[in-house]
């Protein structure tokens, strides 16, 4: 299995920057880079392949603008073609696409086969950005900008979203990283709801 060269890395980064341009603000290039960074850090802690996790993390949402529901699978097939074009080793490309295509709860559950470490790591890197203060910001943004909700309703709506992500985490390292973020939001909702009720 050949490693990914630095020239190929540069092409992947350029491809990602271009592909993320028309995504919504919650699934933009910044989200991709944060996911890649977290995936790399989790890969180190979990003994997973670092290149595969980092690149799958970077590319996982490239097709989000095409289909919210099926973006994981659509993105993986788009990336597969691109990696073939730039001559990335077929086995590495396969593993990257596999990790990408199961990065959300629905596709992860639907995928009943053996779950590779890299799949768990990329899944968790993305989940860590859907819980805690960052997860709250993203959900709040979605509710205000796209669902046109009132601010208080948007905060309350996020409770179901933000607080349920922690229990979906697949790796010990992610649970350790996410613990504080989860606790902060549990307190946040407790205080917010008491103020809201008494206000």
- Please report, as ranges, the residues that interact with Fe ion according to CB under 5 A: 61, 126
Cα(133)–Cα(139) distance, integer angstroms: 10
Cα(131)–Cα(105) distance, integer angstroms: 14
For residue 129, give the nearest of 141, 118, 117 by alpha carbon.
141
CB-nearer residue toward Fe ion: 49 or 126: 126
Cα(78)–Cα(70) distance, integer angstroms: 12
Total residues found in the chain within this entry: 199
Whole-number Cα distances in Å, 178 to 103, 132, 135, 152, 182: 17, 7, 11, 25, 6
Rounded least distance, CB 130 to Fe ion, Å: 8
Rounded least distance, CB 57 to Fe ion, Å: 9
Cα(39)–Cα(177) distance, integer angstroms: 12
CB-nearer residue toward Fe ion: 49 or 61: 61
CB-nearer residue toward Fe ion: 61 or 139: 61
Rounded least distance, CB 68 to Fe ion, Å: 8
For residue 67, give the nearest of 41, 104, 35 by alpha carbon.
104
Rounded least distance, CB 72 to Fe ion, Å: 6
CB-nearer residue toward Fe ion: 145 or 191: 145
CB-nearer residue toward Fe ion: 8 or 35: 35
Do 125 and 102 meet the contact criterion of CB atoms below 8 Å apart?
no
Rounded least distance, CB 1 to Fe ion, Å: 27
CB-nearer residue toward Fe ion: 18 or 153: 18
- For 68, phi then psi, to 5°, come to -65, -40
Rounded least distance, CB 117 to Fe ion, Å: 19
């Amino acid at each position: 299995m050949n490693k990914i060269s630095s020239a190929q890395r540069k092409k992947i980064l350029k491809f990602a920057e271009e592909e993320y341009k028309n995504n919504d603000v919650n699934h933009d290039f910044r989200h991709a880079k944060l996911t890649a960074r977290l995936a790399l850090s989790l890969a180190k802690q979990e003994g997973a392949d670092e290149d595969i996790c980092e690149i799958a993390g970077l590319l996982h949402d490239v097709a989000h603008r095409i289909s919210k529901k099926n973006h994981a699978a659509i993105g993986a097939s788009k990336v597969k073609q691109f990696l073939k074009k730039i001559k990335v080793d077929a086995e590495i490309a396969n593993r990257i696409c596999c990790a990408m295509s199961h990065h959300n709860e629905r596709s992860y559950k639907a995928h009943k086969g053996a779950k590779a470490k890299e799949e768990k790591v990329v899944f968790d890197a993305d989940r860590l950005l859907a819980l805690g203060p960052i997860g709250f910001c993203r959900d709040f943004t979605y509710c205000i900008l796209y669902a046109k909700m009132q601010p208080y309703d948007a905060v309350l709506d996020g409770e179901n979203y933000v607080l349920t992500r922690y229990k979906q985490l697949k790796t010990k390292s992610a649970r350790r990283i996410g613990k504080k973020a989860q606790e902060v939001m549990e307190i946040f909702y407790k205080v917010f709801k008491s103020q809201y009720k008494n206000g």
